[in-house]
Structure 1
Amino acid sequence: MGNEGSRLARLKALLEEFYVAPYRGALARAKREEDDLFMLFVFAELMGVPNPAAYYTLELQPLLLERFHDWHRRQGLEHSPLDGFRCC
């Protein structure tokens, strides 16, 4: 009985992976695009784009500076677009 339960658990894991795998990339891409838009929203004021929520997003800038380099590289910018902030 224990061996059969183990095989059923492995079969369940295999079927779950089979059904989930095609969507994993699409969900990761959607999350990355959403994160990129959020980063643009947070750093918009520093790039000269008026941001109506600058008062609220200013608090988030120190928290997101660690991810800033990866973000601007993903956007196709070789160097930081900010004049006063050089990350590479």
Structure 2
Amino acid sequence: MSFRDRVRSFTDGLTEYYAGPYRATFIKARQQEDDLFMMLVMSEALGVPNPASYYTLELLPIIYEDFHSWHLRMGMEHSPLENIQCC
């Protein structure tokens, strides 16, 4: 095992030691940010006025893939939008 491999292994171990306990917190924070982004992009369709709807309109096709899991996380059993029937 070379010196470079040992240093890389040591660095990986330190990263795991310091970041490991917070991994769940990081995942939850990322999911909350994604949910907020989804809400901002879908706000016009949900009936909330959005001054940036012109710019977020082109993001809708990307978000449709995650829409089902998002509305279930938000506590809605069925899609709140008439034009998106995912379940």
What range describes the TM-score normalised by the shorter chain of this pair? 0.7 to 0.9
State the 1:13 CA deviation: 3.1
Task: Please report the TM-score for the alignment, with normalisation by the length of structure 2.
Answer: 0.84
**Cα RMSD between the aligned structures?**
1.9
Letter in 2 for 1:18: Y
Structure 2: how far apart are the matches of 1:5 and 1:49?
Answer: 55
Structure 1 residue runs of 5 or longer lacking an equivalent are none
Number of residue pairs aligned between Structure 1 and Structure 2: 87
For 1:80 and 1:27, how far apart are their aligned partners in 2?
A: 28
Task: State yes or no: 1:49 paired with 2:32.
Answer: no
Which residue is 1:61 aligned to?
60
Q: Percent identity?
A: 49
Q: How far apart, CA to CA, are the structure 2 residues paired with 1:62 and 1:11?
A: 43
Greater radius of gyration (CA): 1
1:19 paired to 2:33: no
